[in-house]
Amino acid sequence: DAKTTQPTSMDCAEGRAANLPCNHSTISGNEYVYWYRQIHSQGPQYIIHGLKNNETNEMASLIITEDRKSSTLILPHATLRDTAVYYCIVPQGGKLIFGQGTELSVKP
Amino acid sequence: DTAVSQTPKYLVTQMGNDKSIKCEQNLGHDTMYWYKQDSKKFLKIMFSYNNKELIINETVPNRFSPKSPDKAHLNLHINSLELGDSAVYFCASSWVRNSAGTGELFFGEGSRLTVL
What confidence tens digit (pLDDT) does each residue in B54-99 have?
888 887 889 999 999 998 999 999 999 999 999 999 999 998 655 5
B69 touches chain A (CB under 8 A): no
Contact B97 A100 (CB under 8 A): no
Mean pLDDT in chain A?
93
pLDDT confidence of residue A96: 85
From CA B33, how far away is CA A97, in angstroms rounded?
A: 12
CA B91 and chain centroid, separation: 4
pLDDT band at A24 (very low <50, low <70, confident <90, very high): very high
Read off the pLDDT of each residue in A16-22 and give the average, rounded to a whole number.
Answer: 98
Could you tell me what percent of chain A has a pLDDT over 90? 80
Selecting from B42, B100, B106 the residue whose C-beta is nearest the C-beta of A32 gives B100
- State in Å, rounded, how far the first CA of chain A is from the last one: 39
Read out DSSP for B1-65? --SEEEE-SEEEE-TT--EEEEEEE-S--SEEEEEEE-TT--EEEEEEEETTEEEEE-S--TTEE
pLDDT confidence of residue A31: 87
**How many inter-chain contacts (A to B, CB under 8 Å) are there?**
51
From CA B26, how far away is CA B22, in angstroms rounded?
A: 14
Selecting from B42, B102, B110 the residue whose C-beta is nearest the C-beta of A96 gives B102
From CA A77, how far away is CA A75, in angstroms rounded?
A: 6
pLDDT confidence of residue A66: 93
Q: Give which of A72, A44, A17 is closest to B90, Cα–Cα.
A: A44
pLDDT confidence of residue A33: 93
Contact A96 B105 (CB under 8 A): yes
Chosen from B2, B29, B102 to mutate, greatest number of chain A CBs within 10 A: B102
Interface of B with A in 89-108 (CB under 8 A): 90, 92, 97, 99-102, 104-108
Interstrand relation of B10-13 and B53-57 (parallel, antiparallel or unpaired): unpaired
pLDDT band at B112 (very low <50, low <70, confident <90, very high): very high
